Amino acid sequence: MSTDTQTSDTQASAARAGLGPAVTAADREEIRARLASAVQAERGSPWNRRIGPYTPLLLLVAWEALSRLGVLDARFFPAPTAIVETFVNLLVSGQLVTDILMTLSRIAVGFVLGAIPGVLLGLLLGSVRSVRLLLEPVFSSLLPIPKVAIYPLLLLIFGLGETSKYVIVAIGVFFYLFFNTMSGVMQTPPLFDDVARANGASRIQRRLTVSLPYALPSIFTGIKLATGGAFVIIAASEFVGAQSGLGYLIWSSWSTFAVSKMYVGIVTISALGYGATALEGYLERRLVPWVKY
């Protein structure tokens, strides 16, 4: 709508400028400038575009100032520079690296353990109606149980070691992948299945060459959701059942009132989650090139 107005505006001014019989170079120049500004207006103000990426930095600057001036209680909101100092100390001592590696390895192992059965069962239930009717209620009734709520049980079964962490992440990831794969498979247009059958594809070949690729975009949505879920689950599990990892770092800082350490843990988790999502976005563009973004 605004584009139309811009265009007619330009035309009107072109008419006023006496365009038509004698178009001077100056007129053309003016029109070009108007067009350029119209295009620019559509893209958003240059000021916003330039500032946008740095607003988090502005927030940090404001935080720093308010914390130093004593407006913010530095016990709860230590100045960002203080947090950076703690960050560097933790990094140099090697503790932060150890915690990051522990958390990441728990997520990675748990992710694989949960995602593979999630996708396979999603394919099966999505494509075989009788199995879906039989088993979907089971998974639907397990879905709403908060995964963290069964952690004490897992601790009893698997003990305080790594296995209990792998299992709880796997359980959380499983549900995301299972439901997203299943719904992706169920939306496969029958024509594609006909094409595969007409070409003599076996049942398994049909699942692998039609249902799986058709569901891939939806599977990636599941992977991204599962990544967020996995960080929540692992942080909560490390609060209570671990002596290492970023969740443990945050929790132990609470008990010793080391607030800036707590922030280091929080920011590190945020950065890891961001990195994981970026990696998944890259994989998605490589593996699902037929979908236009």
- Told to check if 257 binds other proteins by CB under 8 A, we report no
Residue 208 or 258: the one with the smaller Cβ distance to other proteins is 208
CB of 224 to other proteins, least distance (A): 19
- Told to check if 210 binds other proteins by CB under 8 A, we report yes
Token pair in block for residue 137:
């209620």
Q: Kindly determine how many residues on this chain lie close enough to bind other proteins according to the rule CB under 8 A.
A: 21
- Told to check if 119 binds other proteins by CB under 8 A, we report no
The span of 44-52, 136-144, 187-195, 261-269 binding other proteins (CB under 8 A) equals: 187-195
Q: Which of 4, 50, 191, 257 binds other proteins (CB under 8 A)?
A: 191
The span of 58-66, 89-97, 156-164, 198-206 binding other proteins (CB under 8 A) equals: 198-206
Beta-carbon contacts of 30 under 8 Å, excluding residues fewer than 6 positions away, are: 13, 17
Angle at 203 between CA 200 and CA 209, to 5 degrees: 75
The span of 22-30, 43-51, 113-121, 190-198 binding other proteins (CB under 8 A) equals: 190-198
Residue whose tokens read 């498979």:
185
The span of 8-16, 53-61, 213-221, 275-283 binding other proteins (CB under 8 A) equals: 213-221
- Told to check if 209 binds other proteins by CB under 8 A, we report yes
Q: Which of 82, 113, 201, 266 binds other proteins (CB under 8 A)?
A: 201
Residue 174 or 214: the one with the smaller Cβ distance to other proteins is 214
CB of 163 to other proteins, least distance (A): 37
- Told to check if 53 binds other proteins by CB under 8 A, we report no
CB of 283 to other proteins, least distance (A): 15
Beta-carbon contacts of 133 under 8 Å, excluding residues fewer than 6 positions away, are: none
Residue 220 or 248: the one with the smaller Cβ distance to other proteins is 220
- Told to check if 213 binds other proteins by CB under 8 A, we report yes
Instruction: Give the dihedral sign, CA 125/130/132/135.
Output: negative
Residue 115 or 196: the one with the smaller Cβ distance to other proteins is 196
Instruction: Give the dihedral sign, CA 34/38/44/50.
Output: negative
Q: Which of 55, 199, 281, 283 binds other proteins (CB under 8 A)?
A: 199
- Told to check if 194 binds other proteins by CB under 8 A, we report yes
Binding site for other proteins (CB under 8 A): 189, 191-192, 194-201, 205, 209-210, 213-214, 216, 288-290, 292
